[in-house]
């Protein structure tokens, strides 16, 4: 069985029609939407890909999944009882499972998404609100890779965690690092990365290289063989899913 590989997310990917939203969920606008699943782990309830839909407004719902999104085109406004949050092209946000809200979009929207359909029955700790990610958020020191994993000096790294779900498997935030070179490993988690600054190169166990720069989004599945090499400062948004045994 072939090993997994790094998946590049293409904002202009061709999408296919998905099953319409139930008419009872939509107040106005279209119930039709299109999508492309780029990664799926059905057993764990994790999916990631690209999605688009025209203008619409939903009814009040308790959001059924944990979802991270980066808006590629258009604007989304998440309405809550005491606030509204606008997310425009180039911005990222999180809706925690259980948030009582309405989804509204005045026009066409396209997005990247990572969805965790948590079947544990556990509830996210409240109060729940839409979480908009600030790429420039202040970060705190974090633990770097162990020296024996490196082919370079130990880097200096920082992070800010925006969200952890009720199961502790899904973690989302912003992270930075000075340049470093890590040895080839089988990646120990699922992770979507969106680079905010800097660049990184990966090599797999066959010596094949992939290069990513600021503005790129990609997904590294659990078990993917890869080494990491970044020459200078790098900052990213991360969406980590660490399955429990």
pLDDT of residue 65: 98
Mean pLDDT, rounded, for 78-103: 98
pLDDT at 23 over 90: no
pLDDT of residue 116: 98
In a domain, 47, yes or no: yes
Mean pLDDT, rounded, for 26-53: 97
Which residues, including other chains, have CB under 8 Å from residue 230's CB and lie 6 or more apart?
177, 179, 180, 181, 198, 199, 200, 201
Domain boundary among 132, 156, 184: 132
pLDDT at 245 over 80: no
152 and 95 in a common domain:
no
159 and 61 in a common domain:
no
Judging by beta carbons within 10 Å of its beta carbon (0-12, 13-18, 19+), is residue 46 exposed, middle or buried?
buried
Q: How many domains does the chain have?
A: 2
pTM of the complete model beyond 0.85: yes
Contact 236, 172 (CB under 8 A): no
Tokens of 130: 């839409």
Cα–Cα distance between 72 and 119 in angstroms, integer?
A: 29
In a domain, 104, yes or no: yes
In a domain, 2, yes or no: no
229 and 189 in a common domain:
yes
CATH of residue 72: 2.60.120.10
Q: Read off the pLDDT band of 241 (50, 70, 90).
A: very high
Mean pLDDT, rounded, for 87-99: 98
Q: Read off the pLDDT band of 1 (50, 70, 90).
A: confident
pLDDT of residue 169: 98
User: What is the end-to-end Cα distance of the chain in Å, rounded?
Assistant: 21
Cα–Cα distance between 194 and 220 in angstroms, integer?
A: 11
In a domain, 148, yes or no: yes
218 and 113 in a common domain:
no
Torsion sign, CA atoms 100, 110, 105, 78 = positive
pLDDT of residue 72: 98
Cα–Cα distance between 98 and 239 in angstroms, integer?
A: 19
Domain boundary among 75, 106, 132: 132
Q: Which domain holds residue 147?
A: 140-241
pLDDT of residue 162: 98
Mean pLDDT, rounded, for 202-229: 97
157 and 128 in a common domain:
no
pLDDT at 82 over 90: yes
User: How many C-beta neighbours within 10 Å does residue 117 have?
Assistant: 14
90 and 156 in a common domain:
no
User: How many C-beta neighbours within 10 Å does residue 196 have?
Assistant: 18
% of the chain with per-residue pLDDT over 90:
97
Mean pLDDT, rounded, for 72-90: 98
How do residues 146-192 score in pLDDT, each as one tens digit?
Answer: 999 999 999 999 999 999 999 999 999 999 999 999 999 999 999 99
pLDDT at 60 over 80: yes
Domain boundary among 114, 132, 150: 132
In a domain, 44, yes or no: yes
99 and 116 in a common domain:
yes
Mean pLDDT, rounded, for 97-102: 98
122 and 19 in a common domain:
yes
How do residues 117-151 score in pLDDT, each as one tens digit?
Answer: 999 999 999 999 999 999 999 999 999 999 999 99
């Amino acid at each position: 069985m072939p090993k997994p590989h790094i998946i590049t997310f293409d904002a202009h990917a061709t999408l296919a029609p998905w099953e319409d939203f139930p008419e009872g969920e939509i107040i106005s606008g279209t119930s039709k939407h299109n999508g492309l699943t780029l990664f799926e782990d059905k057993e764990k309830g994790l999916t990631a890909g690209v999605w688009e839909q025209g203008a619409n407004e939903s009814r009040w719902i308790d959001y059924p999944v944990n979802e991270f999104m980066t808006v590629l085109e258009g604007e989304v406004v998440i309405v809550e009882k005491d606030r509204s949050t606008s997310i425009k092209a180039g911005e990222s946000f999180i809706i925690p499972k259980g948030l009582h809200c309405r989804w509204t979009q005045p026009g066409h929207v396209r997005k990247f998404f990572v969805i965790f359909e948590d079947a544990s029955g556990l509830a996210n700790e409240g109060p729940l609100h839409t979480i908009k990610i600030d790429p420039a958020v202040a970060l705190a020191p974090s633990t770097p890779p162990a020296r024996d994993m490196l082919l370079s000096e130990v880097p200096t790294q920082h992070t800010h965690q925006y969200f952890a779900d009720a199961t502790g498997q899904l973690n989302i935030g912003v992270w930075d690092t000075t340049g470093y070179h890590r040895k080839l490993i089988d990646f120990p988690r699922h992770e979507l990365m969106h680079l905010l600054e800097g660049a990184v190169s990966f090599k797999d166990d066959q010596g094949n290289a992939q290069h990513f720069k600021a503005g790129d989004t990609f997904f590294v599945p659990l078990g993917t063989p890869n080494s990491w090499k970044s020459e200078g400062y790098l900052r990213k948004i991360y969406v980590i899913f660490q399955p429990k045994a």
